[in-house]
Amino acid sequence: MKKDLGPMNAVYPMPVLMIATYDENGKIDVMTAAWGMICDYEKIALFLEAEHKTTKNIKAEKAFTVSIGDKDHIDIVDFLGIASANRMEDKFERTGCHATKSKYVNAPVIEEFPLVIECELDKIIEDGELYGIIGKIVNVAAEEHVLSEDGKVDPTKLNALIFDQFQYGYYVPGEKVGQAWNAGKELMKDKTEEK
């Protein structure tokens, strides 16, 4: 029997996304966010509060990058989520990370993270103090060490962090347990035709 827990953020797993922008003076800002996801074949949706420096930068510069937070950089990932660029002028510099300008959009690519999604702003949906930011994916780049032999990203090599909103923990994915568009194929068969 299920126990009622009341309203809460009860989706698991949640991605750990590193959103990088430039401000109007070209200064790098990076924040950690868990409220984001792919929303179309070439689009990503982020859900950010209006007060974030990152939100203001995206509105002004019309571009951003999204990196996948990984186990090797958990200290940096967590710091970029708890520190605010509105109150800490040297937030990015404190991480010791390095950035280069994206070849495709006006936003920084953080060199330490193995996967980056480069995005142009498509639209913003405002709901009070919460913004739904939709980005058009212009390019995805990945370090070779996280690619499989066929040139695709291998999740087991990525060591992507997963955020747990129940107990506020970070996890990494475990084993592969099935193949999409295959694990449920047996249920697609019409059982009445087999008789």
Distant-in-sequence contacts of 119-127, Cβ < 8 A, 24+ apart:
119/44, 119/63, 119/64, 119/65, 119/66, 120/62, 120/63, 121/58, 121/59, 121/62, 121/63, 121/64, 122/43, 124/58, 124/59, 126/50
pLDDT over 80 (residue 191): no
> By C-alpha distance, which of 54, 58, 51 is closest to 91?
54
Which pLDDT belongs to residue 189?
A: 85
Which pLDDT belongs to residue 183?
A: 92
CA gap 19, 77 in Å, rounded: 11
Using pLDDT thresholds of 50, 70 and 90, give the confidence band for residue 68: very high
What whole-number percentage of the chain has pLDDT above 70? 98
Q: What is the pLDDT of residues 133-184, one digit of tens each?
A: 999 999 999 999 999 999 999 999 999 999 999 999 999 988 888 999 999 9
**What pTM was estimated for this model as a whole?**
0.92
Q: Domains in the chain and their CATH numbers?
A: 14-188 (2.30.110.10)
Q: No. of H helices and E strands in the chain?
A: 5, 12
Using pLDDT thresholds of 50, 70 and 90, give the confidence band for residue 194: low
